[in-house]
Structure 1
Amino acid sequence: MNEKAKMVPVNNIMQPVETVHPAMNIHNKNYADLSKPSAYGCISGERKYHDLLLSVFQLRHRVFKERLQWDVSSINGHEIDKFDIHDTKYIITTDTESNVKGCVRILPTTSPYMLSEIFPFLWQSESPIPCSASIYELSRFAFEKEQSVKGYGFSSSVIKLLRNLILYAKDKKIEQFIFVTTTIIERMLKIQGISIERIGSEISMRNAKTVVTIMNINSQTEKSIFG
């Protein structure tokens, strides 16, 4: 190992910054962005998506570390955690210069995911925490604020992100998304008309009222997003 390699703490273990995630080796020219997202805005943790991944992690840093002031780890302005690995999937929207304006991470519930590993205490149901090929978890939902949006409506970039998410779900035969969110986002989803279900009652966490929510991929959700 290069003794001059920059070291960062990950799960209390010091690691070279480039081993934390393939995209974090910012200065390695071999990691140039060689690919664009799919038709529904899907990218993965593969190195070919290097530039887009960096933009995702930068957006998450601005939203979660700076705007919301969550207790999350950031490396040189990039918010990243142990679930950001090679085969992790992300749905994104970008501007004309390929800057990520909205993103959400998708994790299968058949593998460790945030609700099962980090927030199991939020699961308030007699049924076991989901573990199904037709149910995926959404996490790290982040988007840039748009000055033109007022009240509780979603911005055009968020609507585009939700459309991409539904297209991805239909392509992959995903029936439900489960996620931890705030009651504010829950209310916005209801106002939009999306088919959602709350699991249990709200819990105060990180200075916000938090709930576990399931989004159903059905005709109601499709109509609410596509019209």
Structure 2
Amino acid sequence: MRIVVVSPDLYEPESGLLTQMHRLRALVFGSRLGWDVEIAADGERDEYDTLALTYILAVDATDRVAGCARLLPAGGPTMLQDTFPQLLRAGRLEAHSGMIESSRFCVDTNLEAGRGGGQLHLATLTMFAGIIEWSMANGYNEIVTATDLRFERILNRAGWPMRRLGDPVPVGNTIAVAGSLPVDNASFDRVRPAEYKPMIVGSGRGSRTAA
């Protein structure tokens, strides 16, 4: 399992992986979780995918996308501020230059590789480590996200607990909650699986990062 980071300059050369990512999102959010998302023939997309954002992908040995997330600078637009402000205690996001938003995190848990012993799936832990590593390398120290109570429990199991930014609120068929996650070496060391290989990091935010 390796991490591939797709910044805007790599959208075209990595279009095959991005197509897999959108289809995985449709499978997880639409079919499995039953969320109210827009699904087309090429997968699940929303208005935030039109922005210049960075995608973090976990890719297995057969070049199959096993997990994904997208990262947006918290200055906006963001899902928390513009779509789910009701999840924020103050009704607005107290953004700063060291904050980034993670959204549309999902993992193909049907993959048998990396599962066993009651532990979290290898793709989940690889994604957590990749998100933290990229964020640290690009000058961020805090990740904010809108998620649900199920995923909050997964973060706790991984040793990367989330600080709530508001009370849980019913959204569609789930109970959603906003939270903040630390970006630091201690968190990276706790979530990083033994097989994880550090990424080769370019310079500047949004630069290419690859395994």
- TM-score above 0.5, yes or no: yes
Q: Relative to 1, partners in 2 of residues 1:171 and 1:40: Cα closer, same or farther, differing over 3 Å?
A: farther
1:63/1:196 CA distance change after superposition, 3 Å: same
Which amino acid is 2:26 matched to?
A: H
How large is the RMSD of aligned CA atoms in angstroms?
Answer: 2.0
Q: 1:140: which partner in 2?
A: 104
What are the within-5 Å matches in structure 2 for residues 190-205 of structure 1? 190-205=156-171
Which residue, 65, 70, 74 being the options, matches 2:30?
65
Amino acid at match of 1:42: V
Distance in 2 of aligned mates of 1:178 and 1:96: 30
Structure 2 partner of 1:154: 120
Residues in 2 aligned to 1:215 and 1:139: alpha-carbon distance in whole angstroms: 13
Using the alignment, how far apart are the partners of 1:115 and 1:95 within structure 2? 30
Higher relative CO (CA 8 A, sep ≥ 6), structure 1 or 2?
2
Deviation at 1:125, TM superposition (A): 3.0
Pairing 1:50–2:15 present: yes
Q: How many residues align?
A: 187
Identity %: 24
- Structure 1 gap segments, 5+ residues each: 1-38
Asked if 1:165 corresponds to 2:131, the answer is yes
> Following superposition, which runs of at least 4 residues in structure 1 exceed 2 angstroms of deviation?
146-151
- Give TM-score, length-normalised by structure 2: 0.81
1:108-119 aligned within 5 A: 108-119=73-84
- Displacement, 1:157? 1.0
Q: Verify the 8 A CA contact 1:44 1:86 in the aligned structure 2.
A: no
The question of whether the paired residues in 1 share the 8 Å contact of 2:3 and 2:59 is answered with no
Q: Normalised by the size of structure 1, how large is the TM-score?
A: 0.76
Superposed CA offset, 1:43-91 (max 9, x none) = 0342222101101101001001111111111110410111112622110
Match of 1:124 in 2: 89
Contact 1:93 1:161 (C-alpha < 8 Å) held by counterparts: yes
Deviations 1:70-128 (A, max 9, x none): 111111041011111262211001122222110001011112111111111111137x4
Instruction: Give the counterpart of 1:224 among 187, 190, 210.
Output: 190
Larger radius of gyration between Structure 1 and Structure 2: 1
Describe the shift of the 1:159–1:102 C-alpha distance in structure 2 as closer, same or farther (beyond 3 A).
same
Any gaps of 5 or more consecutive residues in structure 2? 194-211
**Residues 146 and 178 in structure 2, CA contact (< 8 A), matched pair in contact too:** yes
